[in-house]
Chains A and B, each alone.
Chain A
Amino acid sequence: MLSKSRLHCRKWAFGVAGVLAFAAFCPRAMGQFGGFGKKIMEKAQKVQEASKPISVDQEKDIGREVSAKVIAAFHVYPNDALTRYVNEVGQTVAAQSERNEILYHFAVLDSDDINAYSAPGGYVFITRGALALCQDESELAGVLGHEVGHIAAKHVIHEIENANKKGALASEIGADVGNLTNNAPGSSAYKEALQNIVKNIITNTMFGKGLPAKDEYDADERGVRYAHDAGYPADGLEHFLKAFQTATGQEGKRSYMTTTHPPVQERNSRMEQEIARQNWQDADRPQLADRFATFTAMLKPKAGS
């Protein structure tokens, strides 16, 4: 049973919600109600502006800025042959993605950390540490496929848009998305909004709490599918994650992947189920361990060291 004062509060809340809902639906008509109406109209307009979807060009601007910061932090690994090889594998896998209105770009980061990153708009990075852990080309294809999957599904972009819709009035991100989608590229408001969104992506999604688990499972499923459709064995990513678990668990190597992704066992179990469901257990497919070793030999720890 609600107390009288709580009941009274609820009535007020309903009333205010009603006015706000009305204002959101019909901002122009609110102009009739003078100064108070104007204020509500401005708020409603803010909600409406912040609800605009992020365009492909805006997505690329975000990705470009995220990539610049990632490169500033980790540096690109200076090996032309390896860069070309990663691009060849990456382009082969990305050709199987559903999203082909953007171009995918691949680079190797000079970092021991075992990880791969993707930024909106088509930017994919894999670390030297992750490459050293891969045993063959099919594992690399699985890892790159997972990252391409995030971009193809616009996971990060949808995360920003959803956070925005949930709290456009209360949260900063709401104002930032509104300023990004409603201002001309190059304007100071656009640039400021871009910087804030990029900081949010880096601190929360890439190196913080990560994406929702459902997005990671979705990227796994896409990665498996792209690798399989490209002609690789479908279980490359699964093998890589097993090696990752051993390396981070027993050898104590660090990775943001442990904090930003769901547990490896759960991911692998889901991938195994998907591969079985699709009947993709094809033992004859090329793992291409020799070709992989040709380009990555210098990354492997030398015997006895």
Chain B
Amino acid sequence: MRMKTGIRRAVGRMAVLMGISMMVVLILPGLGASQQDQQNQPDQQKQDQTQTDQQPQKKTGGFLGGIKKMTGSSSEQTKETASAGTKGALDGKQIADMTPTAADRQKVTDMENYSVPQDDLKKFQNDGHLNPNK
């Protein structure tokens, strides 16, 4: 019994020592690698920025163009559920489990492509005595 406890203690100590010694002996190259990762990060951000800058010019108007044509889709099938949801039946899991139709995805694309022409936006801001820029 005593011997078993002694062996356990010895194994425990060995594990502690092994962990500490590995950390001390080999931690430095690891730190070096992680510093290198950090140095690479701004490059990744730069790349993201470039990709963003390369976005195509946005179209104007036509945001809700396709909405009335949306029939026979799975979105249509779930319309009853969705309407009930607005009254309190739709929970997060149901929304998360929804399968968007091609029409639903098209609406997201329309949303992305929609933009108010700059002159019109300026007029809107002037009419309201608002600030156009930061």
A interface, CB within 8 angstroms of B: 8, 11-12, 14-19, 21-22, 24-29, 53, 55-57, 64, 67-76, 78-80, 83-84, 87-88, 91-92, 95-96, 101-103, 105-107, 110-113, 123, 129, 137, 198-199, 202-204, 206-208, 229-232, 254, 286, 288, 291
Contact = CB atoms under 8 A, between A and B. Distances in A.
Given A8-B8, A232-B130, A105 B111 contact: yes
A56 B51 contact: yes
29 contacts: A11-B13, A15-B14, A15-B19, A18-B23, A21-B23, A26-B27, A28-B33, A29-B30, A53-B41, A55-B48, A69-B98, A69-B100, A71-B108, A72-B98, A76-B111, A83-B64, A87-B114, A88-B124, A95-B133, A95-B134, A101-B49, A198-B96, A202-B92, A206-B92, A206-B95, A207-B95, A231-B131, A232-B130, A286-B129
B16 A18 contact: yes
Contacts of B92: 202-204, 206-208
B15 A26 contact: no
Interface of B: 8-9, 12-20, 22-23, 26-27, 29-31, 33-34, 41, 44, 48-49, 51-52, 55, 58, 63-64, 67-68, 75, 78-79, 82, 85-88, 90-101, 104-105, 107-108, 111-112, 114-116, 120-121, 124-125, 127-134
Given A55-B44, A72-B101, A88 B16 contact: no
A92 B64 CA distance: 21
Report whether over half of chain A's contact residues are helix, strand or loop; otherwise say mixed. Answer: helix
Contacts of A286: 128-130
Nearest to A260: B92
B95 A69 contact: yes
Contacts of A75: 75, 79, 82
A22 B96 contact: no
**Which of B17, B100, B111 has the most C-beta atoms of chain A within 10 angstroms of its own C-beta?**
B111
Given A8-B12, A111-B86, A22 B27 contact: yes
Nearest to A20: B19
Contact of B95 (A11, A73, A92, A107): A73
Contacts of A84: 63, 116
Contact of B134 (A64, A73, A96): A96
B49 to A, nearest CB: 6
A289 to B, nearest CB: 11
Contacts of A70: 95
B116 A22 contact: no
Contacts of A57: 48, 51
A305 B78 CA distance: 29
Nearest to B15: A15
Contact of A229 (B22, B79, B131): B131
